[in-house]
Amino acid sequence: FFSPGMTALLTRSRAVLSVAGVDTLRFLNGLLAQDVAPLALAGAKPVYSAVLDARGRLAHDIFVHATSDNSVFVDCDRTHADSLLKEWTRRRLRMKLTIEDASDDVSVVARLPEGGDEDVSGDLPDDPRRIPELGRRGIVQNSSIVSADDHSDDVMARQYMLRRWELGVAEGGEEMQYGTSLPLEMNVAGLNGVSFTKGCYIGQELTARTHFRGVVRKRIMPFELLGEKGLPLAVGTTLRRAGEAVQSTRRSRSDGEIFAYDAEAKRGLALVRLKSVADGTNLEPFDKDQDVESAVGLCELRVTRPSWWPAEWGREDEEEPRWS
């Protein structure tokens, strides 16, 4: 589903903001779930993090790259870049910094392992999300990009997306469902995007409480469609354990929901109740507006536990909570 060594140009899905000024890191540390203070050090590596709303829901997933003293580039979802720019401008108050859209000058590129440097000038930093299979990811000047054509760029970006999905890594507002999802359900903490030792930030209370209680019952996971028949899959499709009879769909508890899907590859991402798939049972789609058993056996989804997951994920209910 991907070409090792390819360089993907992510201009259709990601935008870049520039934040510059003496208060840049202090400003960002009050807004981001991860500590960005290390960006002040020479040769600092990029930081992956999230912006949460006041309820602790995910509002943006971002990558922060130091560019020079008191200046950073922020890799963010293109569709939500304007709202992030407006929100940060509103919160800037009297801090000494500027926030601008830099997408006309720079772009986000990603390169899977074993790649060369033929498509960009200079080396890209390692992707900060802790998974070596994600390769490298960085921000480069648009003038340095050698692009074959729009179609080739789209093909490589799609292949990179499918590789992310295979690893169970969601990205952007559509896949992460900004405004409703929790950062721990989207595995942001496991991907090095949350610090539980830094100072306060917006949305911290719910995230910290959930983490220290030690139980996350649902997480984003990769799946593969088995078979051709059944209900058309789409974002928002409800899932349940395959073949299980229920008395009433209206009273039954969902075991998952599709968050992203590619019909050609027959792969996607779903937010899954971990206890429901702990024994290896597949999931199947069902429609609450149809007869309860109408979809049983027509198609199944095989959910995969990513190899990079910590051993304790999905087994928290077997242990005593850390505190209550």
Query: Do residues 252 and 291 touch, judged by C-beta distance below 8 A?
Result: no
180 burial via Cβ count (<10 Å: 0-12, 13-18, 19+): exposed
Q: What is the pLDDT of residues 41-67, one digit of tens each?
A: 988 999 999 999 999 999 999 999 999
User: Of 159-163, 168-172, 213-217, 222-226, which range is least confident?
Assistant: 213-217
Q: What is the pLDDT of residues 82-118, one digit of tens each?
A: 999 999 999 998 999 999 999 999 999 999 886 444 4
The encoded tokens of residue 175 equal 């896949």
Q: Can you tell me which residue has the tokens 């498509």? A: 119
DSSP letters spanning 13-71: TEEEEEEESTTHHHHHHTTBSS--GGGGSTTPPPEEEEEE-TTS-EEEEEEEEEEETTE
The candidate with the shortest Cα–Cα distance to 313, out of 274, 273, 268, is 274
302 burial via Cβ count (<10 Å: 0-12, 13-18, 19+): middle
pTM of the complete model: 0.88
Residue 323 CB neighbour total at 10 angstroms: 8
